[in-house]
């Protein structure tokens, strides 16, 4: 008999997406699985699926928040779902995700084929090629937030710092034994990087991930630039928290080094620009500006070649803006520790 798979989905005001998510799970061709939705009792997610709940097609787990909780609670809910799961294999996914009908079958087969305790796949857009500029940016920028595994590779503690992409909880298969070795997801990551923190906990405790581009799910990307900017702010704060929490994490150190590198380049460029203007050292200006323009043009062409659309020409400029946003908020989180109230209020809106 096929091992029982427990699909765990943390939800929060997911009424707009929940039926499509469940529709994609109900048609899975894998013969033996349960669906666990984890949320608060008064959450709006339950409103459109009352009939499904009454028929017992899903298991509902309540995960009340501790007093004065602020920020994301996804890892808290994932752990609550895992405690109630009956399966031999735990599968984690997100509320805005859609799944191909062979997703479970393929994920379980990869666990067995590679004899590993965990498998992570990629996440691609549900939008078509005619979708908005911002959907294409999310999938096609040279520097992107979503994982992109060029081939099948194995993630361990020794190569965690050199990995270009890390596992995300939108597409994460793990045996119960591996989950116990991991010790559950860290619940104190309330901004972002909760996936990466969990992945580091896992590999640090001996869990090996098979990361592959052959296991895909589909995601509704954010199409509002303001929301995308929030995500970069959250990611920066999460990266800083990862650096402060797991001082032995090589990926966190790499992020910190990248932030310092960007900061040094920005500072050096500003000093050279000011020096060139104030002291009329025009050779600095005539060197910096052309090199900057030529560099951006070259990167823009590479991005165009990747996406095969004129949008690609402007992606590097937007990416540069978001890198600056990331750098600033990473440094702010490091320096302030608990964060800035104004930033907290912005993220809550």
Final residue in a domain of this structure, among 178, 204, 223: 223
Question: Could you tell me if residue 181 is inside a domain?
Answer: yes
Question: Could you tell me if residue 54 is inside a domain?
Answer: yes
- Region class of 11: left (phi > 0), else alpha (psi between -120 and 50), else beta: beta
Question: Could you tell me if residue 11 is inside a domain?
Answer: yes
pLDDT of residue 311: 66
Q: Domain count for the chain, please give it.
A: 2
Q: Are residues 66 and 199 in the same domain?
A: yes
Final residue in a domain of this structure, among 223, 241, 265: 223
Question: Could you tell me if residue 236 is inside a domain?
Answer: no
pLDDT of residue 119: 96
pLDDT of residue 149: 78
Q: Are residues 58 and 147 in the same domain?
A: yes
User: What is the pTM (predicted TM-score) of this model?
Assistant: 0.83
Q: Are residues 255 and 170 in the same domain?
A: no
Q: Are residues 265 and 203 in the same domain?
A: no
Q: Are residues 76 and 184 in the same domain?
A: yes
Question: Could you tell me if residue 338 is inside a domain?
Answer: yes
pLDDT of residue 308: 65
Q: Are residues 284 and 185 in the same domain?
A: no
Q: Are residues 214 and 109 in the same domain?
A: yes
Final residue in a domain of this structure, among 223, 258, 289: 223
Q: Are residues 52 and 142 in the same domain?
A: yes
Q: Are residues 215 and 344 in the same domain?
A: no
Q: Are residues 130 and 270 in the same domain?
A: no
Residue 149 is part of a domain; what is its CATH number? 3.90.550.10
Question: Could you tell me if residue 235 is inside a domain?
Answer: no
pLDDT of residue 293: 62
Question: Could you tell me if residue 286 is inside a domain?
Answer: yes
Q: Are residues 260 and 333 in the same domain?
A: yes
List the pLDDT tens digit at each of the 349 positions of the chain: 789 999 999 998 888 888 999 999 999 999 999 999 998 877 888 888 888 888 888 899 988 777 777 778 889 999 999 999 999 999 999 988 999 999 999 999 999 999 999 999 988 876 554 457 766 666 666 566 666 777 788 999 999 988 778 998 999 999 999 999 999 999 888 888 999 999 999 999 999 999 998 999 988 766 677 888 888 899 899 999 999 999 999 999 998 988 888 888 777 666 666 665 555 555 555 666 666 666 666 666 566 556 666 666 667 777 788 888 888 999 999 887 644 444 444 444 3
pLDDT of residue 297: 64
pLDDT of residue 344: 46
pLDDT of residue 340: 46
SS (H, E, C) the chain: CCCCEEEEEECCCCCCCHHHHHHHHHCCCCCCEEEEEEECCCCHHHHHHHHHHHCCCCEEEECCCCCCCCCCCHHHHHHHHHHHCCCCEEEECCCCEECCCCHHHHHHHHHHHHCCCEEEEEEEECCCCCCCHHHHHHHHCCCCCCCCCCCCEEECCCCHHHCCCCCCCCCEEEEHHHHHHHCCCCCCCCCCCHHHHHHHHHHHCCCCEEEEEEEEEEECCCCCHHHHHHHHHHHHHHHHHHHHHCCCCHHHHHHHHHHHHHHHHHHHHHHHHHHHHHCCCHHHHHHHHHHHHHHHHHHHHHHHHHHCCHHHHCHHHHHHHHHHHHHHHHHHHHHHCCCCHHHHHHHHC
Question: Could you tell me if residue 230 is inside a domain?
Answer: no
The domain of 279 spans: 250-348
Q: Are residues 170 and 25 in the same domain?
A: yes
């Amino acid at each position: 008999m096929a091992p029982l798979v427990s699909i765990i989905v943390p939800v929060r005001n997911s009424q707009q997406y929940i039926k499509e998510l469940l529709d994609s799970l109900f048609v899975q061709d894998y013969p033996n699985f349960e669906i666990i939705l984890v949320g608060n009792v008064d959450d709006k997610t339950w409103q459109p699926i009352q009939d499904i709940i009454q028929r017992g097609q899903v298991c509902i787990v309540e995960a009340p928040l501790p007093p004065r909780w602020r920020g994301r609670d996804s890892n808290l809910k994932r752990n609550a779902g895992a405690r109630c799961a009956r399966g031999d294999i735990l599968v984690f996914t997100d509320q805005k995700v859609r799944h191909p009908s062979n997703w479970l079958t393929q994920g379980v087969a990869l666990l067995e084929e590679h004899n590993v305790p965990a498998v992570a796949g990629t996440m691609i857009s549900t939008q078509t090629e005619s979708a908005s500029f911002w959907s294409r940016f999310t999938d096609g920028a040279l520097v992107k937030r979503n994982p992109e595994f060029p081939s099948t590779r194995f993630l361990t503690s020794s190569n965690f710092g050199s990995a270009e992409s890390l596992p995300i909880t939108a597409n994460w298969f793990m045996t119960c034994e591996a989950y116990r070795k991991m010790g559950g997801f860290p619940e104190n990551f309330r901004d972002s990087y909760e996936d990466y923190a969990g992945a580091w906990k896992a590999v640090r405790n001996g869990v090996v991930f098979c990361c592959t581009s052959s296991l895909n799910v589909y995601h509704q990307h954010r199409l509002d630039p303001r929301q995308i900017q929030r995500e970069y702010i959250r990611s920066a704060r999460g990266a800083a928290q990862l650096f402060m929490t797991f001082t032995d994490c090589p990926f966190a150190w790499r992020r910190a080094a990248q932030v310092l590198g960007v900061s040094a380049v920005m500072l050096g460029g500003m000093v050279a620009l000011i020096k060139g203007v104030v002291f009329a050292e025009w050779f600095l200006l005539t060197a910096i500006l052309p090199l900057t323009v030529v560099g951006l043009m070259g990167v823009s062409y590479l991005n165009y070649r990747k996406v095969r659309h004129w949008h690609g020409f402007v992606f590097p400029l937007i990416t540069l803006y978001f890198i600056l946003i990331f750098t600033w908020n990473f440094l702010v989180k490091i320096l302030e520790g608990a964060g800035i109230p104004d930033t907290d209020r912005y993220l809550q809106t």
